[in-house]
Amino acid sequence: MAAAKEQKNEGGQDNASKGLFNMIMNNESKSSEEAKIVDSETLVSQTQDRLWRALKRRFQYDVSLQSGQEFLLNHVSTKVPLVITYADLVGSTNMSMTLPADKLTTIIRAFTYEMSQVIYNHKGYVLKYVGDAVISFFPASYNKLLACDRAVQCSKSMLAVVKNGINPILNQYDYPELNVKIGMDEGENVIVQYGHDRSSQIDILGYCMNIAAKITSLTGPNKISIGQYVYEMLHPSIKSRFSEVKFSAEEWRYTDRHTGQLYKVYSMSDAGR
């Protein structure tokens, strides 16, 4: 009888969690006048068209970090809650040894451009490109639930664009397929501008950045891993698709900033679907 009561309480908490999430998300949808987020199928179609033309030298990729820098400019020298996301290309070193330089450059440009387009379509910002990785952020000051949801949905779209948009075109040219691993975390970050001029580069520093980078390094190809704070903000139906990852003491030593306990990491087991 006690067990039944406990189970009932857990069910009530789960329903309350779903209700709170839906209420906040619905309010956001009603009050927002932003354009709709483009669906994955449209992104895939657009990706294939651009990559096909780029490989035939009929299209040139052009990326810009301006929108992200403009957002950060308003928050220089302050702490801002953000969801930080790393999208890291797997196996680029091997490609650099087997592909001609011009083809490798086109593929890397295609990857960074298409990942950036997915980020923008999910209302995120690109912070910077580091080698073959794309680092982005989603502002979480106003609505952490929405920011975390957008970051996760964005990551799923990234995997879909690589798998269904980029790789089929590369296969037609007998080029190796791309694989990407994605990691993210949420937390306060310090916004730093390296010079006094308004045009000086602006960057993000903080514990959250370090955790997101480490999570990504421990993530397998074509998988999404998230920090505990992101996981706690997700709708129960999305949470159910993630499983906690157990690392060795040597691999993972990051702790929860509030409790001092080992910080948990979760990975989506069916991220490719």
196: number of Cβ within 10 Å: 6
Does the pTM exceed 0.95?
no
- How many helices (DSSP H) and strands (DSSP E) are in the chain? 10, 8
Say how far apart CA 34 and CA 220 lie, in whole Å: 34
Query: Which pLDDT value is given to residue 34?
Result: 43
Give the per-residue pLDDT at 61. Answer: 72
Q: Which residues contact 58 (CB under 8 A, 6 or more apart)?
A: none
Scan for tokens 């006094």, then name that residue.
196
Rounded to whole angstroms, the Cα distance separating 241 from 119 reads 22
The Cα–Cα gap between 43 and 165 comes to: 8
The three-class DSSP label of residue 128 is strand
Residue 47 is predicted with a pLDDT of 83
String of b and e for 123-136 (b: at least 16 CB within 10 Å)? Answer: bbbbbebeebbbbb
E-strand spans in 194-273? Answer: 202-205, 224-227, 242-245, 265-268
Supply the pLDDT for residue 179.
Answer: 94
Query: CB of 34 within 8 A of CB of 150?
Result: no
pLDDT, residue 11, reads: 53
pLDDT along the chain (273 residues), means of 10: 48 53 50 53 81 70 88 96 97 84 86 93 96 95 96 96 91 88 98 90 96 97 97 96 94 93 89 50
CA trace torsion 150, 155, 157, 158 (10° rounding): 140
Confidence (pLDDT) at 31: 40
